[in-house]
Amino acid sequence: EDQVTQSPEALRLQEGESSSLNCSYTVSGLRGLFWYRQDPGKGPEFLFTLYSAGEEKEKERLKATLTKKESFLHITAPKPEDSATYLCAPTGGGNKLTFGTGTQLKVEL
């Protein structure tokens, strides 16, 4: 059975304080891993797709990396508007995405 664990569950940062979120997974035959951002009361918003170990993607203050067992979402010099819940979802292909429970990030001034 595919499993995903995200850590920490919650993270509070000061503005400008860089950190990383972790997504550990056990998925047979990983074909890709997706990162989403979710704001309260809204649907998940797609951020990145990573297809193979060693791959990196960047968008503004966010950088996602992938190894064979985990993925990291690095947040550099975060701002309050980066506050959200971040979800990861690895897939072994087809329609099956296995979602983690997310990391709730709060960035304070």
CA–CA gap between residue 109 and residue 78 (Å, rounded): 10
Is residue 43 a contact point for another protein (CB under 8 A)?
Answer: yes
Distances (CA, A) of 86 to 6, 29, 100: 9, 23, 9
Binding track over 57-86 against another protein, x by CB under 8 A: ------------------------------
Do 64 and 72 meet the contact criterion of CB atoms below 8 Å apart?
yes
The residue type found at 95 is N
Is residue 52 a contact point for another protein (CB under 8 A)?
Answer: no
Is residue 28 a contact point for another protein (CB under 8 A)?
Answer: no
Is residue 91 a contact point for another protein (CB under 8 A)?
Answer: yes
State the residue for tokens 């060693």: 54
Binding site for another protein (CB under 8 A): 4, 31-32, 34, 36, 41-46, 49, 51, 87, 89, 91, 93, 95-102
